[in-house]
Amino acid sequence: MDQKKRKTSYGMTREQERAASRHFGQHVSAPKAVCALVFSLLCCAAPMLLGLRLWEAIPPVVQTGLISTEGTDDSMSRAVLVFGVPGLFCLLDFVCHAQLWLNQKAERIPPMPVRLFGRWVLPVLSVLLCSFWLLRAAGEPVGLPFFLPCLLALLLLLIGVHFFDCPRGDTIAFPFKRIRYREDAWQKTHRAASVTWMAAGLLLLAVYFLAGHLPVWTAVVVLPLLLTPPPASLYFTRK
């Protein structure tokens, strides 16, 4: 049977599946896929830093609140909560990224769970859920004031990854006239901003988890990273 007319598991021809995979498959360039993978894995692992800070306050055996088949409260060790749970999120995130990339290369539609979680749902869940579990286990207050810096850091990461292959004319882009009609300068400026903004988000997350607050010096480091686009656009237009 003609390869183009062969029915796939989705009940469409191979050509239709290729078109659908390009539309629904979350396709990205290879450099963006690698960059997103590295930063998302670091984001998934970030709650380990919070666990290290709260280590002494977390009991050696932590009750999960889940009831086992024997009718007793299930429990896990402190090490599993601090390292194992974020590590599991890292593993799931890596599998998700690998599945998206392999399906992209084969021009197939990724399975529904992979499309649902994408590249950044698991890192966001890891930061928010693991932080909640660690704080509750340590007897620390859990509320919006704690999560606001986390949400700011995650927002910087998500905007940063968007900048990596930002198309011209996009709503979320830098409106510098000097790079608007120069494809090479546009791409390099936004990629520089992508890396620095994601680094800023990751730095905020790491410092906040380790210190329990954001010291003043954090702004001295983070603000120059966020102000990278204007000098970068000047540099790349003059090259």
Does 124 share its domain with 105? yes
Under 8 Å between Cβ of 201 and 42: no
- In this structure, the answer to whether residues 136 and 151 fall within a common structural domain is no
pLDDT confidence band for 14 (50 / 70 / 90) = low
Q: What DSSP assignment string belongs to 11-68?
A: SSBHHHHHHHHHHHS----HHHHHHHHHHHHHHHHTHHHHHHHTGGGS-SEEEEEEE-
DSSP per position, 78-135: HHIIIIIHHHHHHHHHHHHHHHHHHHHHTT-PPPHHHHHHTTTHHHHHHHHHHHHHHH
Are 101 and 127 contained in the same domain?
yes
Asked whether residue 90 falls in the same domain as residue 49, the answer is yes
Q: Read off the pLDDT band of 196 (50, 70, 90).
A: very high
pLDDT band at 4 (very low <50, low <70, confident <90, very high): very low
DSSP 222: H
pTM (2 decimals)? 0.84
Asked whether residue 3 falls in the same domain as residue 119, the answer is yes
Answer yes or no: is pLDDT of 128 > 70: yes
- Binning pLDDT at 50, 70 and 90, where does residue 151 land? very high
pLDDT range class, residue 2, cuts 50, 70, 90: very low
Of the candidates 137, 157, 150, 125, the one whose C-alpha atom is nearest the C-alpha of residue 206 is 150
Task: Choose the final residue of a domain: 91, 110, 142.
Answer: 142
Cα separation, 13 vs 35, whole angstroms: 33
Q: Which of 142, 175, 196 is the last residue of a domain?
A: 142
Q: What pLDDT was estimated at residue 11? A: 61
Same domain, 114 and 70: yes
Which helix (H) or strand (E) is 72 found in, with range?
none
Of 182 and 128, which is predicted with more confidence?
Answer: 128
| b (16+ CB within 10 A) / e for 79-98 | eebbbebbeebbebbeebbe
Q: Does the pLDDT of residue 21 top 90, yes or no?
A: no
Give the pLDDT of residue 17: 66
In total, the chain counts a number of residues equal to: 239
Q: pLDDT at position 104, please?
A: 82
Torsion of CA 194, 198, 201, 205, to 10 degrees: 180
Domain count along the chain: 2
> What confidence tens digit (pLDDT) does each residue in 78-115 have?
999 999 999 999 999 999 999 988 888 877 777 778 87
Give CA–CA dist 53/110, Å, rounded.
38
Q: What per-residue confidence (pLDDT) applies to 35?
A: 93
Q: Where does a domain end: 97, 117, 142?
A: 142
Q: Are residues 90 and 164 in the same domain?
A: no
Domain span including residue 165: 144-239
Nearest residue to 185 (alpha-carbon basis) of 238, 237, 234, 230: 237
pLDDT tens digits for range 24-78: 656 788 999 999 999 999 999 999 999 999 999 999 988 776 555 565 556 888 9
Quick check: 46 and 127 in contact, CB under 8 A? yes
Which amino acid makes up residue 80?
V
DSSP symbol at 182 = -
pLDDT tier for residue 1 given thresholds of 50, 70 and 90: very low
Residue 54 and residue 43 in one domain: yes
Residues 138, 150, single domain; the answer is no
User: Do residues 219 and 138 both lie within one domain?
Assistant: no
Q: pLDDT averaged over the chain? A: 86
Compute the distance between CA of residue 115 and CA of residue 109 in angstroms, rounded to an integer. 9
